[in-house]
Structure 1
Amino acid sequence: MLILQRKRNQSILIGNEIELTVLEIGADQVKLALTAPRDISILRKELVEAADINREAAGVGSLNALKKMIKKEEAE
């Protein structure tokens, strides 16, 4: 894990195409701006985790697991 310190209006670059800029710094939160190509998915981690939990509760561990289940049924 890389840990960086940035001040308001400072940025970091990830590769050549992704820029992360600190917009505001508050007492218990930081407002960030991300600039990236449209083909790069940017998701909040808690939403991805919630989706994973929902899939597990529905009996589908992951999209890959679902695809394997479908292929197995088609083979039978």
Structure 2
Amino acid sequence: MLVLTRKVGERILVGDDIVITVLDSRGDGVRIGIDAPRGVKIQREEVVRAVTEANAEAAAAAAGSGDDAEARLRRALGDLPARETPDA
């Protein structure tokens, strides 16, 4: 990891087409601006982590209710009867 000290208004160049500018420094936070091509994804790590965790929870919940979802879909289609499962 490269660690740099920058002052407000100073820039960091990443490759040929990404510029990071220090906009403001307050207390324990720093505001930065990022100029990059449209095709470059720029995301906050905590947001990506939260979305990934929410997707995993939704997938686990869907996997647990897979039979119910299939039965609802079959009923909604109308032309397929709900599959009956034998009592164990």
Question: TM-score normalised to the size of structure 2?
Answer: 0.65
Moved over 3 A (4+): none
Structure 1 residue 28 displacement after superposition: 1.8
What SS does the corresponding residue of 2:2 show, helix, strand or coil?
Answer: coil
The runs of 5 or more residues in structure 2 that have no matched partner are 61-88
Which whole-Å CA distance do the structure 1 matches of 2:34 and 2:6 have between them? 14
Q: What's the C-alpha RMSD, in Å, of the aligned pairs?
A: 1.1
Considering Cα pairs closer than 8 Å and 6+ residues apart, tell me whether 1 or 2 has the greater RCO: 1
What SS does the corresponding residue of 1:20 show, helix, strand or coil?
Answer: strand
Task: Among all aligned residue pairs of Structure 1 and Structure 2, give the percentage whose two residues are the same amino acid.
Answer: 38
Aligned to 1:37: 37
**Which has more radius of gyration?**
2
Which whole-Å CA distance do the structure 1 matches of 2:56 and 2:2 have between them? 31
Aligned to 1:26: 26
Amino acid aligned to 1:11:
R
Number of equivalences: 60
Question: TM-score normalised to the size of structure 1?
Answer: 0.74
Which whole-Å CA distance do the structure 1 matches of 2:18 and 2:39 have between them? 12
Structure 1 residue 54 displacement after superposition: 0.6
Which whole-Å CA distance do the structure 2 matches of 1:30 and 1:18 have between them? 18
The runs of 5 or more residues in structure 1 that have no matched partner are 61-76
